[in-house]
């Protein structure tokens, strides 16, 4: 009988130890998954949205056949609020993933751009926080200045300007999709887009351009008032 009781005790201890090991492994898996997913989209948006902007409208969107939502913010004082003007826009998938944002602001025009090395460092720091799942398969394709159009009104007259940032274009070799981070003259991320399908022939983007006002106008899309 003592021998039988000892076996029972050892078996129980083994089960407890096994359960503890499983719990530790599960906790590590959850922690790793959380680290790879990065901070919530709302946290990223709060960190990058310029001061003095408020929500102006939102609409449903489709990104590569998946549901998403486009939200547009404009300056509270109404400056250059029309399509093509100043705005901060986000596109968030229905699963909560931040697919991208654009910060098109007059204050970024004509500033001194960061160097390629500075832009790369800023881009990597941003991805570590906002989209760490992209890092394992990331390959930098090139880093160069990139222009975005901006239409403003000065003294009652419309004027077309060019907003330039330093673009870090990258490819996720795990799935073949493209991504980029554009760093503005203020050394902050101006544009972020991820999971971009590229059509090799005839050489054009396949993923919808919800963050680009010229594309919205071309497609006849509007962003309804909130």
How confident is the model over 146-172, as pLDDT tens digits?
Answer: 999 999 998 889 999 999 999 999 999
221: CB partners within 8 A, 6+ apart? 59
203: CB partners within 8 A, 6+ apart? none
Q: What is the pTM of this model?
A: 0.83
How confident is the model over 129-147, as pLDDT tens digits?
Answer: 999 999 999 999 999 999 9
CA dihedral 72, 75, 81, 86 (to 10 degrees): -80
Q: Which residues pair with 177 in a beta bridge?
A: 172
CA dihedral 152, 164, 90, 192 (to 10 degrees): 180
How confident is the model over 165-174, as pLDDT tens digits?
Answer: 999 999 999 9
């Amino acid at each position: 009988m003592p021998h039988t009781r000892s076996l029972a005790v050892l078996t129980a201890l083994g089960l407890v130890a096994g359960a503890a090991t499983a719990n530790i492994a599960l906790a590590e898996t959850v922690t790793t998954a959380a680290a790879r997913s990065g901070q919530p989209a709302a946290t990223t948006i709060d960190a990058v949205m310029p001061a003095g902007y408020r929500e102006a409208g939102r609409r449903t969107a489709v990104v590569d056949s998946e549901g998403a939502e486009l939200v547009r913010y404009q300056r509270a004082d109404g400056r250059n609020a029309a399509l093509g003007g100043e705005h901060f826009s986000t596109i968030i998938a229905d699963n909560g993933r931040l697919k991208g944002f654009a910060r098109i602001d007059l204050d970024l025009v004509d500033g001194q751009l960061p160097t390629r090395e500075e832009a790369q460092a800023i881009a990597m720091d941003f991805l570590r926080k906002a989209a760490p799942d992209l890092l394992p398969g990331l390959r930098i394709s090139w880093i160069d200045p990139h222009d975005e159009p901006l239409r403003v009104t000065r003294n009652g007259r419309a004027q077309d300007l060019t907003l330039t940032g330093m673009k870090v274009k990258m490819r996720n070799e795990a799935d073949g999709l493209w991504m980029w981070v554009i760093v503005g003259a203020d050394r902050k991320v101006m544009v972020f887009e991820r999971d971009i399908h590229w059509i090799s022939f005839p050489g054009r983007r396949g993923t919808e351009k919800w963050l680009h006002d010229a594309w919205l106008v071309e497609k006849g899309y509007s962003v309804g008032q909130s």
